[in-house]
Structure 1
């Protein structure tokens, strides 16, 4: 081949490459500029069907703590994914509750990861104003009409709204702007003990590695319509501390008459005394020997908190929570700084002996404290558990069993990430002024995405409003009486807009072509 022939072929090759790139970019631009009115019409047309689908999902509770409906929950999650257009849907065994892995290949330049949970918290129907599995539509004074049911806000309502967005895009015959990789677990409410076996399976990990980040659908608006974009979440450890007469070598090996307390040691009191060593005198500060110190808030984090608290109502927060005072009667901003920056040890429940109607004069042989610890950087799950065990042994309570059921590290994502910047763009375009928040006080297993080997951004997104997570009368707003707060259809459209924003051509996308 002569030099001139080589030059001609090289020029042709460049021309084909430029043409192919132009065609790909044209497709990306088309996908990023949909017929929004057509999609919105489909959202409205599907409203009743979408709400009914949410009610049906709520009617099937998968409760990991009670070993209830894990198989059925995974199968139902897989069914919902298939119906929403995911081409590959697979139930994944984890050694615990099964997970679901699904992919939607739209032939798009950008891939986005999705994290779902299909499990919910336990509930006591006697504490609810309507049956927690009926998902009734009720009037919420000052808010509008809402679905009340276990899982309505955490997390089935927002997750169903996202699936409804996929239905609407497809039914409106619009191009899906991004490829999707979905991982859904059934153990989030017990600390995600097997999340790594799902997410880090080699083929699933490889699929997620292609994404620009992972997000979880959520209703982020408060009752006044304000939106907070969270840049992370606290870690958590869930465990039981068990004081047992047999393990202790003192006290009874079975429940005995309470009159014998005059000469028999009490495992219940032993547990109480051990618990008292874990915290300060007021119970508000971790006092475990050797417990890792939290990193101080940065100037940027303090500024985020200051701006957010100035825009939110302290009085409404106290009213919603039913609390008259913050710890130490701290001012609103300082209370929120503490919320973001401090680890906690919380007693979820104390169980021992007789707890039924009336009295029963027994000396229990066994007592259990259900504990959760919330963690902030740089405190790790393993570091917190190790410090707790060493502390108990040092103080003479080495016989008290520490049974860890689940937990994980905290997570952080940069505000400059494409995942977060797309959220801010969508919200501002919608006339909202989003507030940045350093980290949720609650927890989710975002660490599995943000830490190696994936090292991806991870966040929550979605408009809409809900409340009562983990509590009676949990709800998700369906029809809003406040124009600043989105109802269900508004939540659906927020996901539509977010997907198309993520699918917009960017310097990051074109650089990889």
Structure 2
């Protein structure tokens, strides 16, 4: 007969040890209670799946497009109704000098507070470019992903935002309360550079509520299809959107309206004027800003940021990145790690679009009287929006392009969040528990108005969070996964539960 202890004896001994070690019994009980609550909430989320899907579809059916001033009041009203339905109280529509915002609070008497950033606006779309009507939010089977909702705003941001709302519905349906109090701040101008968002955040009642919070999250659905991985970003680049306009009227040369192209033999061209101005802004290959003094405030990558990028290069797949972007080579044929360093550290001057004269079918022999370039800048620490625009203005003036107008439509500064903040630590802990490989990364190469939260007077950590997957933001056939056929990627219910888990983690974190 063996002298080895039985499994029952081992378990009894472990239980006794737990009772004898201070704090272990309480921790075990807390973990058990949390697991029971999560199981009940997940069951409610599964039961509410159809309602959650319909919530996304109905939201997609109402597009609020700030760039077209389309349905902005309707969008704010709809957002307010969604917030109230999810349990937020004292929900109010906040006027600004542009589109209105929405604010609400869900105070359950918890010890800690978490803020949530939403946007209700979406990008423009051309239905002719889509495989299904962009507002119908059809459910289709997407090979390699499962069932997805296709529609404008599906992943940017209505799908992930609706998943967070579904978490609140599931918590209530399970007879529970959120483990943290919540503050919701929403705008309708994110897609045009958030020109009036600060007016919302600095209203006394909104600012007072935000000051109670541990941090701010923006819902996300960016899991990698290859390994289910996610990035925890310690910031984001800033952005500025503007138009450069050359016209015969402002220049005093060339036509004031379109004229016959035969006149080019004796009349100046505003279109060529604009092209010449544009070529001064960047190096000949178009890859590096050449504006006078543009790099003087750029902060180089720190040793820690380089270390994080090196680790990210080992965990992230270059082939997946190129496939997702539809590119074969990086600038200067850079190796993977150097390409990631450039992505995080390089400020950019990008041409979004060029418009002049006739662009329809066939030819139309005109000499245009006006030419427009739509430009966006991406800014890194310690650059600012105002300084970048001022430098471009001075650069053009110095070269005799005083007549070329700069019409800024929106933008904001870069954002940074401390690695040791409770928000970042909670995100990493949640992802680890949920089995999602997480890569800590210096900054998102894209932009969101997080600087409104991370800078004074709010001064909170802020960043993206969430499981799930979608793609096609700003592009045709945008989608969000609701039933995943990929075991590495969560569907709607899994994404919903990730927000529940984060709330519990923030509530319990040291």
* SS of corresponding position for 2:214: coil
What are the superposed Cα offsets for residues 222-251 of structure 1, whole Å, 9 maximum, x if unpaired?
A: 112111111110000000000010100100
Partners of 2:467 and 2:494 within 8 A in 1: yes
Q: TM-score, normalised by structure 2?
A: 0.92
How many angstroms apart in 2 are the aligned matches of 1:366 and 1:220? 40
| Higher mean C-alpha displacement, 224-233 vs 364-373 | 224-233
SS of the counterpart of 1:73?
helix
Q: Give 2:416's aligned residue.
A: 412
Tell me the secondary structure at the aligned position of residue 480 of structure 2.
strand
1:319 equivalent in alignment to 2:323: yes
Q: For 1:350 and 1:460, how far apart are their aligned partners in 2?
A: 32
Quick check: 2:385–2:413 contact (8 Å CA) kept in 1?
yes
Q: Does the Cα contact within 8 Å between 1:96 and 1:194 map onto a contact in 2?
A: yes
Distance 2:252 2:36 in 1: 71
Does the 8 Å CA contact 2:426/2:509 hold for their aligned counterparts?
no
Partner residue of 2:285 out of 282, 285, 291: 282
Structure 1 equivalent of residue 19 of structure 2: none
Following superposition, the deviation at residue 433 of structure 1 comes to: 2.7
1:112 aligns with 2:114: yes
What's the counterpart of residue 16 of structure 2? none
Aligned partners of 2:283 and 2:289 also within 8 Å = yes
Match of 2:392 among 388, 392, 417: 388
Query: Which residue number corresponds to residue 473 of structure 1?
Result: 477
1:346–1:372: 8 Å Cα contact kept in structure 2? yes
Q: What is the deviation of 1:314?
A: 1.3
Whether 1:233 aligns to 2:236 is yes
Instruction: Give 1:40's aligned residue.
Output: 42
Query: How many Å apart are 1:429 and its aligned residue?
Result: 1.1
1:130 is aligned to 2:147: no
Match of 1:94 among 73, 93, 96: 96
Q: Secondary structure at the match of 2:338?
A: helix
- The structure 1 segments of at least 4 consecutive aligned residues displaced by more than 3 Å after TM superposition are 28-34
The CA distance in 2 between the partners of 1:169 and 1:30, in whole Å, is: 17
Q: Is the 8 A contact 1:348 1:372 kept in 2?
A: yes
Match of 1:260 in 2: 263
**Contact 2:422–2:509, Cα closer than 8 Å, also in 1:** no
Q: Describe how 1:494-505 pairs up with structure 2 within 5 A.
A: 494-504=498-508
TM-score where L is the length of structure 1: 0.92
SS of match in other structure, 1:212? strand
Within a 5 Å distance, the mapping from 1:267-416 to structure 2 comes to: 267-293=270-296, 294-416=298-420
* In structure 1, C-alpha distance between the alignment counterparts of 2:363 and 2:437, rounded to whole Å: 56
> 2: CA distance between counterparts of 1:315 and 1:428?
25
Contact 2:102–2:187, Cα closer than 8 Å, also in 1: yes
CA deviation after TM superposition for structure 1 residue 220, in Å: 3.0
TM superposition shift of 1:458: 0.6
Decide whether the 8 Å contact of 1:31 with 1:500 is kept in 2. Answer: no
Provide the rounded CA distance (Å) in 1 between the counterparts of 2:504 and 2:71.
35
- Number of residue-to-residue matches in the alignment: 481
Q: Tell me the secondary structure at the aligned position of residue 508 of structure 2.
A: coil
Q: Counterpart of 1:440?
A: 444
Instruction: Provide the aligned C-alpha RMSD in A.
Output: 1.6
Offset of 1:303 from its aligned partner? 1.5
Deviation at 1:34?
5.6
**Distance in 1 between residues matched to 2:496 and 2:33, nearest whole Å:** 18
Give the unaligned 5+ runs of structure 2.
1-26
Aligned in 2, Cα 1:414/1:333: closer, same or farther, shift over 3 Å?
Answer: same
In structure 2, C-alpha distance between the alignment counterparts of 1:235 and 1:156, rounded to whole Å? 22
SS in 2 for 1:94: coil
Task: Indicate yes or no: 2:483 matched with 1:482.
Answer: no
